[in-house]
Amino acid sequence: MAEQPRTNLPPLSLHVPEPRFRPGDPVDFAVVEIPPAGAARRPDTAEPARDFTDLSYGLVRVLDDDHRAVGAWDPRLSPDRLRRMLRHMALLRAFDERMFRAQRQGKTSFYMKATGEEAVSVAAAHALDYEDMCFPSYRQQGLLIARDWSLVDMMNQIYSNKGDRLQGKQLPIMYSAREAGFFSISGNLTTQYPQAVGWAMASAAKGDTRIAAVWCGEGSTAEGDFHSACTFAAVYRAPVIMNVVNNQWAISSFSGFAGAESTTFAARAVGYGIAGLRVDGNDALAVYAATQWAAERARTNQGPTLIEHFTYRAEGHSTSDDPTQYRSAGEPNAWPLGDPVARLKAHLIAIGEWDEERHAAQDRELAEQVKAAQKEAEKNGILGHGLHQPLDTLFDGVFEEMPWHLREQQAQMMAEETASGRPWDRK
């Protein structure tokens, strides 16, 4: 006889994450715990990961409220290095502003800004060796800028013009620059994680000295590829730095849908037995220090490190997104960790190595530099002004050697085009 259901139990209920603020709500980030700068201890890079799991729940900070670098994580960078980092962050912001306007002018179809997250990529690039391989997500254009990559080349890709090294086959902003140690960006979330771990394992298997670094957003940690990569990295102690950019929001859903209500994203490291750090992502010195520490750990065969960069996406997810539809307009200005560019500028001023006049002059110089690069790139064409690549290149770059069936399709396509009597417009 079947058991009767128990009637004295309350019905089950399902928890659906809900952000604290919605459009029109007042904003108060008082619940965000911000420990004092310099409070986090800095373990030796050879220390076992199980001995500092507390660092996955705190927040590594270097710059204090007086814009001074304090504590064990202070990387003690030279003023010249700090100025170069500031310049690259300001250049990234100027580049983003002009390319955003280009999209609004119909010169390209899509763009994604890194406003508020400049330190995450720029400071990390400065802490890595140029030969190290970076596997970015789609908001780390600062890696290329910090490695002094050609702005014209980046814009050619955004415009999908005749100068585009990817021949118009990638969505705008999905750059690829092997010479700069910048792996091809993919629109499929987190595919770069197992690729980075595999590259790092291959580097170790060959006895090389180069390490890998990879980035994803906090929402992407829900993808299976993220967890597969963590398993391989932990088991084989791959020399890789795994960066999770927690900017509080995915496209239109907040970080709670990826697990932020339960614990930190750096805590993912604890479950896999690998080193974990939670870092103030708007503090360029903290990002540099954490990346430098993780890189030394990887180079000395101590295994991977997972770094959560606690930051905030100040603007829309992309040019296709309107954040006013799902979050309070007061959030960006209320974010308690401030603006990464302003904080690094204030630090340089505090130590007597910068001033407002020089900063304003630099902003004007960088704006002109980006404007000149745009004019040069647009000589190669812009998206929407016809096909910029020869039609037969449609089949190139798929296989190292084109298989017979693609050669047949290519020949058929070109024959049909010739027979149509209207050659493809490539103006």
What pairs with residue 249 in β-bridges? 254
Q: For residue 237, which of 278, 192, 204 has the smallest C-alpha distance?
A: 204
Q: From the candidates 61, 313, 347, 388, give the one annotated as an active-site residue.
A: 313
Looking at the structure, do residues 175 and 259 belong to the same domain, yes or no?
yes
Of 93-102, 231-240, 317-326, 393-402, minimum mean pLDDT range: 393-402
> Taking all residues of the chain, what is their mean pLDDT, rounded to a whole number?
95
97 lies in the same domain as 228 = yes
Residue range of the domain that includes 106: 49-320+332-378
Asked if 183 and 114 sit in the same domain, the reply is yes
Tell me whether residue 15 is in a domain.
Answer: no
pLDDT of residue 151: 98
User: For the segment 341-380, what is each residue's pLDDT rounded down to a tens digit?
Assistant: 999 999 999 999 999 999 999 999 999 999 999 999 999 9
399 and 297 co-located in one domain? no
427: pLDDT strictly greater than 50:
no
Is residue 414 located within the same domain as residue 273? no
Question: 105-130 pLDDT, tens per residue?
Answer: 999 999 999 999 999 999 999 999 99
SS3 (DSSP) at 249: strand
**Residue 110, domain CATH:** 3.40.50.970
Closest CA relative to residue 176, chosen from 213, 221, 138, 211: 138
Give the contacts of 80 (CB within 8 A, at least 6 positions apart): none
Domain-located, residue 8:
no
* pLDDT at res. 359: 98
User: What is the structure's pLDDT at 41?
Assistant: 97
Question: Would you say residue 47 has pLDDT above 50?
Answer: yes
31 found inside a domain: no
38 found inside a domain: no
With beta carbons less than 8 A apart as the criterion, state whether 159 and 175 touch.
Answer: no
pLDDT at 254 over 80: yes
Same domain, 301 and 409: no
Is there a catalytic annotation at residue 317?
A: yes
Task: Give the whole-angstrom CA distance, residue 91 versus residue 96.
Answer: 8
Structural domains counted in the chain: 2
Is 181 part of any domain? yes
Q: What is the pLDDT of residue 159?
A: 97
Shortest CA distance to 143 belongs to which of 105, 194, 181?
181
Give the percent of the chain with pLDDT over 90: 87
Looking at the structure, do residues 284 and 362 belong to the same domain, yes or no? yes
Tell me, what's the pLDDT at 125? Answer: 98
Structural domain includes residue 41 = no
Among residues 317, 347, 359, 388, the one annotated as catalytic is: 317
State residue 1's pLDDT score.
63
Mean pLDDT of 176-191: 95
What is the pLDDT averaged over residues 86-97?
98
More confident residue, 392 or 162: 162
246 and 344 housed in the same domain: yes
Closest to 288 measured CA to CA, from 99, 100, 63: 63
Is residue 227 flagged as an active site residue?
no
> Shortest CA distance to 289 belongs to which of 59, 116, 50, 131?
59
pLDDT class for 423, splitting at 50, 70, 90?
A: low
106-110, 173-177, 244-248, 255-259: range with lowest mean pLDDT:
255-259
Q: Same structural domain for residues 200 and 305?
A: yes
| Residue 313 annotated among the catalytic residues of the structure | yes
Model pLDDT, residue 339: 98
Q: How many CA atoms lie within 13 A of 208 on its CB side?
A: 16
Reported as a pLDDT band with limits 50, 70 and 90, residue 422 is low
Residues 74 and 169 in one domain: yes
Q: Do 363 and 294 lie in a common domain?
A: yes
Q: Are residues 311 and 398 in the same domain?
A: no
Select from 413, 384, 394, 407 the least CA-distant residue to 423.
Answer: 413
In a domain, residue 33? The reply is: no
Give residue 426's pLDDT: 46
Tell me what pLDDT residue 327 has. 94
Res. 218: pLDDT tops 50: yes
pLDDT greater than 70 at residue 425: no
The model's confidence at residue 2, banded by pLDDT at 50, 70 and 90, is: low
Q: What is the mean pLDDT of residues 146-171?
A: 96
Mean per-residue pLDDT, 66-90: 98
In the set 84, 326, 358, 385, the catalytic residue is 326
Q: Does residue 32 lie within any of the structural domains?
A: no
